[in-house]
Amino acid sequence: MSEPEQSQCKSLLIFLSDFVDGNLSEELCQEIECHTAECEHCRIVVDTLRKTITLYHECADEPAEISDELRSHLFKTLNLEDYMEK
């Protein structure tokens, strides 16, 4: 990787979160896309960053539930047992 490329890699780094979230201006998106088409290093960083976030999203998509045991304990501690629906 040449030095000018390296400095471009560094300057694009701060935009990566917004880029993978789709919150970046069209102009900056194009700039990143042009750069990653040429720079394998940054192409991998973008792909793996995106996949990192996707994997956590996929795990979080599973319903967040507490066990029946914890629920009973919680209602008891909060003195709400009389209002606990089955």
Partner 1 sequence: MDKSKAEISIEALRVGDRREFARLVDAYSGPLYRLALKMLGNATDAEDALQNTFLKAFQHVDQFEGRSSLSTWLYRIASNEALMQLRKRRPETTFSDISVEDDEEQNYDPVQLTDWPSLPEEELLSAEARTMLDHAIEHLPEKLRIVFVLRDIEDLSIQETSQVLGLSETAVKTRLLRARLRLREELSSYYGDRLIKRSKK
Minimum CB separation of residue 58 from partner 1 in Å reads 7
What are the helix and strand counts (H, E) for the chain? 5, 0
Q: How far is the CB of 26 from partner 1 (least distance, A)?
A: 19
State yes or no: residue 85 binds partner 1 (CB under 8 A): yes
Exactly one of 26, 27, 58, 68 binds partner 1 (CB under 8 A); that residue is 58
Interacting residues with partner 1 between 10 and 29 (CB under 8 A)? 10, 13-14, 16-18
Give the C-alpha separation, 5 to 62, whole Å: 41
CA distance linking residue 19 with residue 32, whole number of Å: 8
Q: Is 45 in the site for partner 1 (CB under 8 A)?
A: yes
Nearer to partner 1, 27 or 65 (CB): 65
Whether residue 44 contacts residue 18, with contact meaning beta carbons closer than 8 Å, is answered with no
